[in-house]
Amino acid sequence: MSNYNQFSQSLSNPTPLFGKVGTFFLIIFVLLFFIVTQMATRVMAAFLLMPAQMAADISGTVMQAAYNGTVLSVSLCLTFAIMYFLIVTIIKIRKKAIRQYLPMVSFDFSIAVKIFILWVLFVIGNEFFTKLAERNPMVFMDKIYATADPLWLLLLSFVIIVPIYEELIFRGLLWQTTAEQFVNKKTGAIFASVLTASIFAVVHVQYDFFEIVRIFILALILGYARYRSGSLLLPILMHIFNNGVSLWQYSLMTGNVG
């Protein structure tokens, strides 16, 4: 059976994880839990790594911790563990197969090539408008890199950890639970891709409008990869590759990464 047919079969499941109302509240719950987890793990990491500063000024230290590379690295790793546990728990409580909502299956190489070409066009367009607007979207990384010790943990977190847990959430659980609400498989995939891309962009509200639009377009490509491949593995790999290239570009511009 092809991956596309596996995808079609999973969307045709007569008993989705939740109904429409349940799916709506699931999305709200997961997003709120995700936001709170990010904040909580940052505070936990700050207490662990910056105890003296936290004792003197908790609120100020927590704000500074957002740009502390070491604290951020630990926070991201903790977020991954917590969110993975949450997603798997939700699926198991509903007595569903993990594979249906987190399908780590092989995919057609020709589809991957097409998605890669689409991503390259996206990068070219993004670079064109970035230079046209004379922007430096990675400038916020300077302080994070300067305070990262060890640096390899930060690189691991940004390039591997974050893409995995973000895809498990957005192109995994939320994408599938949304798509399976529709009888028409293509309509479900399109709606799920647009919805999860919109939410994915909104949770990156710390960036400016230009970056949010860029993130939305990238998320649409990842959603398309999820749809065409019938696999969560392809969007994860594409997300990892995208973050790796972004950090490589940053290293070329600043020389901050050895």
Instruction: Give the pLDDT confidence of 115-172 residue by residue, as tens digits.
Output: 999 999 999 998 888 778 777 666 678 888 888 999 999 999 999 999 999 999 999 9
Confidence category of residue 11, pLDDT binned at 50, 70, 90: very low
Provide the domain count of the chain. 1
Pick the more confident residue, 6 or 162: 162
Range of the domain at 210: 3-254
30 in Cβ contact with 17 (< 8 Å): no
Rounded CA-CA distance 132/117 in Å is 23
211 in Cβ contact with 137 (< 8 Å): yes
Regarding pTM above 0.85, the answer is: yes
Confidence category of residue 77, pLDDT binned at 50, 70, 90: very high
244 in Cβ contact with 250 (< 8 Å): no
For residue 254, pLDDT over 90 is answered with no
CA 202 to chain CA centroid, Å, is 12
For residue 12, pLDDT over 60 is answered with no
pLDDT computed for residue 25 by the predictor: 98
Pick the more confident residue, 253 or 105: 105
Helix-strand-coil split of the chain, %, nearest 5:
80, 0, 20
For residue 13, pLDDT over 70 is answered with no
Q: What is the mean pLDDT of the chain?
A: 89
Pick the more confident residue, 109 or 248: 109
Pick the more confident residue, 12 or 249: 249
- Say which residues have a Cβ less than 8 Å from residue 192's Cβ, sequence separation at least 6: 174, 175, 176, 178, 179, 223
For residue 253, pLDDT over 90 is answered with no
pLDDT computed for residue 1 by the predictor: 44
Other beta carbons within 10 Å of 72: 23
Q: How far is CA 158 from CA 19, 32, 52, 61, 177, in A?
A: 34, 22, 27, 22, 27
Judged by DSSP in three states, 67 sits in coil
